[in-house]
Structure 1
Amino acid sequence: MARALREQVDEEILDRAAALFAQHGFEQTSLKALADAVGLSKAGLLHHYPSKEALHAAALEFSAVRSGQVRDQVASLPPGPDRDRRVLELLTDTALDRPGLVALLFRPVTTPEAHNADHDELLSDLFAIDPSDVERLIRVTGALSALAVLSLAANYRGDKTSWRPRIVETCLDALGHARSDRARD
């Protein structure tokens, strides 16, 4: 029981820290701001993570683990609307549960200096993107941007349940999947 509580506290710390790192970047995020965001003193935060660097690394790792779990769950699905739907459902669930982690995961989409090859590979794996298909890349970027904004709005409104299916449908629309193409409405 105590271990589960510790994991939940750590996940909450990582989520809130990830949100700050996503919003301000590593350099502009102070240890005090991180401590304030998670409701701890600096000493209390340093009890959980020995430095800002360690916290940042843990948040990135947690985000990578979550995205890897999504990748593993869709790896056997062929490219197409059903795979896209499942990816979006899983990412939406994560975004509604841990919005900071998703903001950090999507930061390379919106921040040129945060762009990296690992992120491109993740998007390619999740959405089966051919690197030469610019339209598909733009549609995926639009869908992920919509997912990020809408999941934040759902969290802010405290209405995750009714927003979830609408978020997924909006993202599928952004990907260009016509409603008549969808097997599960």
Structure 2
Amino acid sequence: MDGDTRETIREVAIDLFSTRGFDQTSLREIAERVGLTKASLYYHYPSKQALLTAIVSPLLDGWRAVTDEAEGMAHTPDNVRHVLTTLLDVMVVNRPLASVLLRDPAGVVAAAGPLWQDMIDVATRLTNWVAGPEPTVAQRLRAIAAMEVLRAAYSSITYLREEVADAEMREVLLDSALGALRR
């Protein structure tokens, strides 16, 4: 039951953080929405920062797994495609988190602290791998562009009014990211 309660708290927090912002949402509001006392919520998450960490960690863990796998692979076109596909899958699964990050980026960055720096470090490692060994400036820029294309999986929540099917998003964004890498 505790796992279910923790997940319910996490889902409600994502909803409130994405609609009201991280700074504007209190733990009391989250507890009330879940049907808990604030003290009970503290049993599951000792702070708002701990709750934010629980929300962001699956995304960071996924990015880290993709990056660790990539760094153990030869840099070939097939492997680049595999890595970008796997990364896109992680991003699509974690798409609800996008609204939290986009709604209140300053609040999230301030609260996330070292976790945010970990995200930047992992993203940098992966972008460097995508650029290839001993990349030119053009190759590094193309790798950055490809990674930004994949981040559109998150931005689509803000800019598209209609829901986009995961399969269509994967196809369009992967094709666009690979297009950015073409030399």
Aligned to 1:92: 88
Give structure 1 stretches of 5+ with no counterpart: 179-185
Superposed, 1:147-162 pairs within 5 Å as 147-150=153-156, 157=163, 159-162=165-168
Displacement after TM superposition at 1:152 (Å): 7.4
Cα pair 1:14 1:101 within 8 Å, conserved: no
Which one has a bigger Cα radius of gyration? 2
Q: Does 1:177 align with 2:171?
A: no
Look up the equivalent residue of 1:48 and give its one-letter code: H
Cα 1:22/1:63, change in 2 over 3 Å: farther
How far apart, in 1, do the equivalents of 2:29 and 2:78 lie?
41
Displacement after TM superposition at 1:55 (Å): 0.5
Aligned residues: 168
Aligned to 2:109: 114
How far apart, in 2, do the equivalents of 1:80 and 1:122 lie?
20
Aligned to 1:144: 150
Displacement after TM superposition at 1:81 (Å): 3.9
Cα pair 1:15 1:99 within 8 Å, conserved: no
Cα pair 1:87 1:126 within 8 Å, conserved: no
* TM-score normalised by the chain length of structure 1: 0.60
Cα 1:126/1:77, change in 2 over 3 Å: same
What whole-Å deviation, never above 9, does each CA across 1:47-76 have from its counterpart, x for those lacking one? 532332221122233332222222222222
Cα pair 1:31 1:52 within 8 Å, conserved: yes
